[in-house]
Chain A
Amino acid sequence: MTRAKLPPWLLLLMPAFLILAAVVLVPLLLSLYSSFTPYQLTRPETLWKINFPFNYEKALTDPGFWKAFGRTVLLLTIALNLEMLLGLGLALMVAKVQRGQRTLRTMMMFPMMFSPILVGFMFKFIFNDNVGLVNNALQSMGLASTAIPWLVDGNLALFAIICAEVWMSTSVFAILILAGLFALPQDPLEAAKVDGCTPWQSFRYVTLPFLMPFIYIAMAIRSLDVARAYDIVQVMTGGGPAKRTELLWTMIGRTGYVDARMGYANAMGYIAILLSIAFTVYFFLKLQSARRELGMGD
């Protein structure tokens, strides 16, 4: 009688599988399971009752959830595009600098080093209606006679949150695009110059297509970040007032940890993940087509 032996390749891969299962698969499956239950943190026994599909139906039929979903998509779209444009501009300017470029590159990364919580507090103070820098500056310059409620009006609050996001993360784009600019071969640019292209034409038809794969990688990374936006919004407005700045994760965070309804929060979380997946798939498809255009294959 011989014992069945596992093939060596499987044995060798086993530690990696086990670690992945422990740190990724088990928490994922547990949270997925709890989304099928009325699990409340303060009542551990509720983890063993199944109420599927109640949580999912409740989330999918809740207008508040869809409004938060829409607001998250809006924030994502505006913040990503602004960060991309500003990051591109910043990278192009820094690439032109001959002396002190290293110092500039390091300085450019400073905002990324701040904790999002700290950035949230900083911008909350800047946009405070009573003692904030913006209102005081506007009133001192005679541009406003009343206190502008930056963090109360829905559109202004979204603008303030986008300012904070853009300030902190534009450098992600700038650094990645700068890396693309350094890798840019000079021959096509010189050929374009010889052929009489204007600087704009050189940028539009030579530089930009080459940079697109870098831009899409930055977009994919940042879309995951922004779709999970929580810290900055939580500090600046907490999703309010009157849910005017409620995003998916401020809503999910409050449901899970303040209301202790983890089962329902996880169900909303799993629906929200679809958003992240959709954006990631979209940017990877764009990345592939941009690489194909450059003849870099799949």
Chain B
Amino acid sequence: MKGFGAGSVLALVASFGFAPAAMAEGEFAGVTIEAKLIGGQQYEALYSRIADWEKATGATVKIISQKNHFELDKEYKADIAAGTTGWCVGSNHSSFASQYPALFTDLAALVPAESIAGFVPANITAATIDGKLTMLPRAQFDVSALYYQKSLYADPAKAEAWKAKTGKDLAPPETWDEFRDQAIFFADPPNFYGTQYAGKDEAINGRFYELVVANGGKMFNDDMSPAFNSPEGKEALQWFVDLYKAGAVPPGTTNYLWDDLGNGFASGTVALNLDWPGWSGFFNDPSASKVAGNVGVAPAPKGSAGVRTGWSGFHGFSVTESCANKEAAASLVDFLTNEDSQKLESAPGPLPSRTAVWEYVIEQAKDDPYKSEVLAAFQETALTAFPVPPTPYWIESGNLIFPELQAAILGDKTVDQALEDASAAVDDLMRENGVY
């Protein structure tokens, strides 16, 4: 029966027109909610709405930590170890969430069902771990699409050279093989590169993972034993190796993370860039980007199995199991992910996770050809997007896999050897932790 009373009252309140947030005037007067939130300029606009929630409910929100997700992840682990989990609301991410099975509570019991029903169903499925709805997604749904420099495809000399080389018309790539060939074709190092990729940590693992899936393979078997040492996995890793060997990517790409990629494409020295939706505004902003006005956006290319890459993730908010006032915390989380919040947050480019807000942003963008192109490309890619495998060892196994991917890219190991070593290391990890 836990949560029934509050939940049903909140549902009633919502149904009587107090929606979108499930809250009543002064409902949580005197309550203080401690929160650990992701920090960063692109996330801050939403936090300005916290004052509205405080005013409406009488509660106070105290932000006790604001860091990026990698740092928050470490902090959550330290909190679990020290038993200091009395704070209430925490930023969460679909790639990290499965690591904290006991830290966060089931929001399905605390948030009105109508509110949950408004989210894109696939997002709610990915946010549900072991039957618990561990977070509510905010308007930070991430999947990558292809950004490219339009002028390269409008250059008759390049089109002619490409036609002579391949017999095909020069158009944005639809497959990853075409992508690689075009990247090598456009490259003129050290002044201009065909593409670039994130080369370390979860970033390269994610890219490798989505290529394996696009080639028809999988990262893990159903029992979570490694499955990436397969023909599809080898084909995926070979793609990274080919680009590096051909000099089509910057030589330092194995040290790059998202910011390096975004800034690299904006500097005008990269032709093709698979990247997140949050960069779309930045790339087309003349004060920040040299490629502003010259950016084309297409859906993510397809792998050899005819499947689009679509490694996706999203940010969200969770409520801790030890929170003293879970109803108030859940109300805050519901408020920060409701339609108004998502409209505000998705205005500069990030993708929403509520169905109604998707429709709203598409309607809003109809007079802006660039925004419409961006939304169309990401919406198409999102249709077949997939989250990370549901294992608490995603990050830890990734730390074993990515140095081996790097070793193959840099030529320290062959593709076969690197994947064999990575697979053996992940197998050891899973066995050591009693996964099978």
The reply to whether the CB of B189 lies closer than 8 angstroms to some CB of chain A is yes
Report if A130-B80 is in contact (Cβ < 8 Å); known contacts: A139-B190, A240-B406, A258-B74. Answer: no
- B: interface residue count bin: 20 to 34
Name the one of A146, A150, A242, A262 contacting B403, with C-beta atoms under 8 angstroms: A242
Measured in the bound complex, the distance between the Cα atoms of B81 and A145 in whole Å is 52
- Which one of B10-18, B143-151, B163-171, B248-256 contacts A? B248-256
Nearest Cβ on chain B to A18's Cβ, whole angstroms: 23
The reply to whether the CB of A109 lies closer than 8 angstroms to some CB of chain B is no
Name A's interface SS.
loop
Most buried by A among B254, B264, B267, B409: B254
**A131 neighbours in B (Cβ, 8 Å):** 267
The reply to whether the CB of B269 lies closer than 8 angstroms to some CB of chain A is yes
Name the one of B201, B251, B395 contacting A129, with C-beta atoms under 8 angstroms: B251
List CB contacts (< 8 Å) of B385-414 with chain A: 392, 395-396, 399, 403-404, 406-407, 409-410, 412
The reply to whether the CB of B360 lies closer than 8 angstroms to some CB of chain A is no
The reply to whether the CB of B100 lies closer than 8 angstroms to some CB of chain A is yes
**A152 neighbours in B (Cβ, 8 Å):** 251-252, 254-255, 410
Cβ contact within 8 Å between B83 and A41: no
Cβ contact within 8 Å between B99 and A241: no
Measured in the bound complex, the distance between the Cα atoms of B70 and A254 in whole Å is 12
Measured in the bound complex, the distance between the Cα atoms of B59 and A290 in whole Å is 68
Measured in the bound complex, the distance between the Cα atoms of B243 and A249 in whole Å is 32
Nearest Cβ on chain B to A58's Cβ, whole angstroms: 9
Nearest Cβ on chain B to A83's Cβ, whole angstroms: 26
Measured in the bound complex, the distance between the Cα atoms of B190 and A139 in whole Å is 10
Report if A128-B252 is in contact (Cβ < 8 Å); known contacts: A254-B399, A257-B77, A259-B399. Answer: yes
Measured in the bound complex, the distance between the Cα atoms of B193 and A130 in whole Å is 10
Cβ contact within 8 Å between B410 and A130: no
**B264 neighbours in A (Cβ, 8 Å):** 130
Report if A259-B83 is in contact (Cβ < 8 Å); known contacts: A128-B252, A146-B189, A242-B254. Answer: no
**B74 neighbours in A (Cβ, 8 Å):** 257-258
**B395 neighbours in A (Cβ, 8 Å):** 258-259
**A41 neighbours in B (Cβ, 8 Å):** 77-78, 80-81
Report if A242-B410 is in contact (Cβ < 8 Å); known contacts: A149-B251, A152-B254, A258-B399. Answer: yes
Q: Which residues of B contact A (CB under 8 A)?
A: 70, 73-74, 77-78, 80-81, 83, 99-100, 189-190, 199-201, 250-252, 254-255, 264, 267, 269, 392, 395-396, 399, 403-404, 406-407, 409-410, 412
19 pairs from A and B in contact (CB 8 Å cutoff)? A42-B77, A130-B190, A130-B250, A130-B264, A130-B269, A145-B190, A147-B250, A147-B252, A151-B255, A240-B255, A241-B255, A241-B410, A242-B406, A244-B410, A258-B73, A258-B396, A259-B396, A260-B77, A262-B81
List the 9 shortest-distance A-B pairs measured between CB atoms, nearest first. A129-B252, A149-B251, A241-B254, A147-B190, A242-B406, A242-B407, A41-B77, A41-B81, A241-B406
Beyond the given pairs A241-B409, A242-B254, A242-B407, 9 more chain A to chain B contacts, judged by CB atoms under 8 angstroms and listed by A's residue number, are A42-B81, A129-B251, A130-B252, A237-B255, A240-B254, A240-B403, A244-B410, A257-B74, A257-B78
